[in-house]
Amino acid sequence: MKVAVIADVHIGPEKEFKGKILKLSRHSESELKRFINKVSEMTDIDAVVELGDLIQEQDYKTDAKNYQDALNEFKKLPQSTYHVIGNHDQVFLGDEDLRFWLGLDHLFYSFDCDGYKCVVLFSERRMHNFLARVGIAQLDWLKKELKESKKPVIIFAHYPVDDQSFEGNPWFEERPELGLTENRAEVRKVLEDSGKVVAVISAHNHWYKLNYHNNIPYITLQSLVENIGDNTPALSWSILTFEPGKINLQTFGNDSREVNIPLKK
């Protein structure tokens, strides 16, 4: 299975963080279109996943327009496209809005793709802050999905559910609790107990990270528009190829890399 993934597009206003512009959203729309044009030409891509924070919040009217305009761009792709909800998508937009625009009954869901079951988790943002967790109802649903799956499972989530060190991360070094799912240990136990999870793919932290917990690889992907220095945008998007015994990760843009990630038994 080969999946194209884009994360943290952040269409909307640029805002200073500690005196710097770290999200170069001036590039968001043009680079999203470039990504879509490029992936449209790739006949070997089985699915496209957008990992959340498609927009940068401003107000309800602006966010609604930006989100729907971006969805219309994704509809130009010949491949099936799946969306994960990020924390910035939820600031002014309600769950009902997002479900309606995405045609979903729930913001957590699953889909089958080329011999795999793919599970999309919903990082439920706490009111008035960016703490997020996977709720009880969603955990019960996840257990059922994993139990009933006859296929190996790939997990997609906006907030990572592994444990990470944030040393050197400008966003979360001082507030690490905002960079990870609150009840991540509980989520990981559900994944591990199933014996079916191949990998977990996340975003949110605006860098690349690879960690293993009990032999499951947890991969965090870079933002499309992170300022990686001197106002240079990362322009990152990735192709993940799931092969026997490994995952090949190719990340394009100014923070590019190619990594073969072993699947441990």
Residue pLDDT, tens place only, 189-208: 999 999 999 999 999 999 99
pLDDT over 70, % of the chain: 98
Average pLDDT, the chain: 97
φ, ψ at 225 (rounded to 5°): -125, 15
How much is the pLDDT for 251? 99
Tokens of 53: 């924070």
pTM of the model: 0.97
Cα separation, 91 vs 118, in Å, equals 26
The conformational region for residue 139 under phi > 0 = left, psi -120 to 50 = alpha, else beta, is: alpha
Q: Other C-beta atoms within 10 Å of 110: how many? A: 21
Q: Does domain 2-262 have CATH number 3.50.50.60?
A: no
